[in-house]
Amino acid sequence: MIAADQQQVCGQQTAGTQKRRFRISRQRHSAVRAHVDEFDVAVGPDTTVLDALREIRTHHDGSLTLRYSCCHASCGTCGMRVNGREVLACVTKLASLRPGPILVQPLANARVEHDLVVDMRDLYDDLEPARRPLIRLDERLAGQEKREPGQPFARYEDCIECGLCVSACPIAGSDSAYLGPAALAAAWRTVAEPRGASPSDVLAWVDDEQGCWRCHASFECTEVCPSGADPASAAMALRRELTKRKLGRLARLGRRER
Amino acid sequence: MSAPTATGRPAGSPLRGAAGWANVKGRHLGSVAFFTNRVTGLLLIAYLYLHLGVLYMLTEGAGSWASVLHLFKNHYFLALESLLILFILVHGLNGIRIALVGTGVGVRHQKAWFTAAMSVSAVLYLVVVLAMFGVI
């Protein structure tokens, strides 16, 4: 169900007397150097970043390219950096930002397609070997035994594939070969609840110098995740599981030697 | 040719690496901890080479070594040396935090671990500085 205030957000709330200056990164594609265009937009108390961007596109510059869909933090398509922080533009109210000009940039650590739109293919490709455990539990478990009601568990089904975690991750920023927090969170979901998949295959996949061991525990992914999926804890859980299995294998080997 | 990675994408350049982690503006405590650990680690590596350079003075005879020892007793030098202790404390205690969190121990308390590590570092550093300058 969409809350009343979220329905209002979808209605493009920009009518207001206060003006805010937007500094927007413009770039035709990754090969071209980005530049910043400035726009002054009349805003109201409930105006979101997405409202303002749509206002700019409608009344100031029709060539501004952005991506959005649901307007209530479910689809994850409007991820971008606002004043240097990864957010979903649809639920980020301007009133929550510091006074002064607002810098809007595309997500980092992904190729820019145009202005605020980035290429998400690497993220989606990385989710595939994790068996994409992002399908809702009731869809996947139709006709199978379900969990007891009220039993607590973390659900990475809540991941909306927005890519904010990858943008915020300093290691993804350091090395494009790194699997990244979203894929690791999905991998841990499969290990924790295999649903017919092989946890060993997934663990072998992340047991790589560019897999869970590459994470340097900055926890930035968890900080910016808009759906509470906690990818950093998932990466640590994968390491714990791998360490446990490796030590177990070592102990068995030791016993056999004796 | 480099070995295939989990993603199949080639590893990035070292230059891109530094640009990816060195900017902590607008980031959270975990990133500050990560940045601090990297910088102190790099400084400790730099010190190691400096230390080897100083030890080389031993091969130059007693006179050369005596002049180095005289420099070591200078207050400005002592102040710099106290920073070495600070880097060791910060890097070492934060390293223990990373080792624990990195194997799944106390993950949800990582911020508290960092605050505790930095607090202990500050207290120990103060004690060391007071001892170095003969106050205690």
Please write the tens of the pLDDT for every residue from B88-127.
999 999 999 999 998 888 998 999 999 999 999 999 999 9
| Per-residue pLDDT band at B1 (split at 50, 70, 90) | very low
| Mean pLDDT of all residues in A50-62 | 97
Distance CA A71, CA A50 (A): 8
Closest CA in chain B for residue A244: B103
B103 reaches A (C-beta below 8 A): yes
- Averaged confidence pLDDT in chain A: 86
φ, ψ for residue B48 (rounded to 5)?
-55, -45
- Who among B5, B26, B104 is closest to A208 (CB)? B5
Q: Do B6 and A210 touch (CB under 8 A)?
A: yes
Provide the residue type at B105 as one letter: V
What angle is formed at CA A74 by the lines to CA A68 and CA A77, rounded to 5 degrees? Answer: 30
Residue among A170, A219, A233 minimizing CB distance to B21: A170
ipTM: 0.80
**pLDDT higher for B18 or A51?**
A51
How close B18 comes to chain A (CA, Å)? 6
Residue to substitute from A97, A209, A216, interface B, most B β-carbons within 10 A:
A216
**Chain A residues whose beta carbon lies within 8 Å of the beta carbon of residue B5:** 177, 208-210
Q: How far apart are CA A184 and CA A211, in angstroms?
A: 8
B105 φ/ψ sector (left φ>0, alpha ψ -120 to 50, else beta): beta
CA gap B32, B34 in Å, rounded: 5
> For chain A, how are helix, strand and coil distributed in percent, rounded to 5?
40, 15, 45
What per-residue confidence (pLDDT) applies to B69? 84
Does A76 have pLDDT greater than 60?
yes
Measured between CA atoms, how close is A58 to chain B, in angstroms?
Answer: 30
**Do residues A108 and A127 share a domain?**
no
Helices and strands: H and E segment counts in chain B: 5, 0
Shared domain for A143 and A212, answered yes or no, is: yes
Residues of A in contact with B112 (CB under 8 A): none
- Residue A73: how many other CB atoms lie within 10 Å: 19
Q: Looking at the structure, tell me whether residues A43 and A66 fall in a common domain.
A: yes
| Domain final residue pick, A61, A95, A118 | A118
**Interface contact flag, B107 A173, Cβ < 8 Å:** no
Q: Same domain, yes or no, for A181 and A60?
A: no
| Residue pLDDT, tens place only, A201-214 | 999 999 999 999 99
> Closest partner residue to A206 among B6, B28, B30, by Cβ?
B6
Residue B5 has pLDDT above 70, yes or no: no
For chain A, how many structural domains are there in total? Answer: 2
A107 and A17 within one domain: yes
Same domain, A81 and A176: no
Q: In this structure, are A130 and A102 located in the same domain?
A: no
- Say which CATH number the domain at A201 has: 1.10.1060.10
CB-nearest to A205 from B6, B11, B103 is B6
My answer on whether A154 and A211 are in the same domain is yes
CATH number for A21: 3.10.20.30
The mean pLDDT value for B21-46 works out to: 92
> A101 and A204 in one domain?
no
Residues A131 and A107 in one domain: no
Residues A110 and A134 in one domain: no
Among A83, A118, A153, the domain boundary falls at A118
Tokens representing B112 are: 């508290």
* A101 shares its domain with A125: no
Residue A117: predicted pLDDT: 97
Q: In the listed set A65, A90, A118, which residue is the last one of a domain according to the structure?
A: A118
- Taking residue A11's Cβ as centre, other Cβ atoms within 10 Å add up to 10
More confident residue, A55 or B103: A55
With a cut of 90, say whether residue A46 has pLDDT above it. yes
Which residues does chain A have within 8 Å of residue B102's beta carbon, measured at their own beta carbons?
215, 217, 236, 239
Name the class of domain B28-132. Answer: mainly alpha
Domain with A156, as residue range(s), is 121-257
Contact residues, B window 34-53, toward A, CB-based 8 Å cutoff: 34
Chain A's closest residue to B24, CA to CA, is A170
The larger pLDDT score, comparing residue A11 to residue B12, is at B12
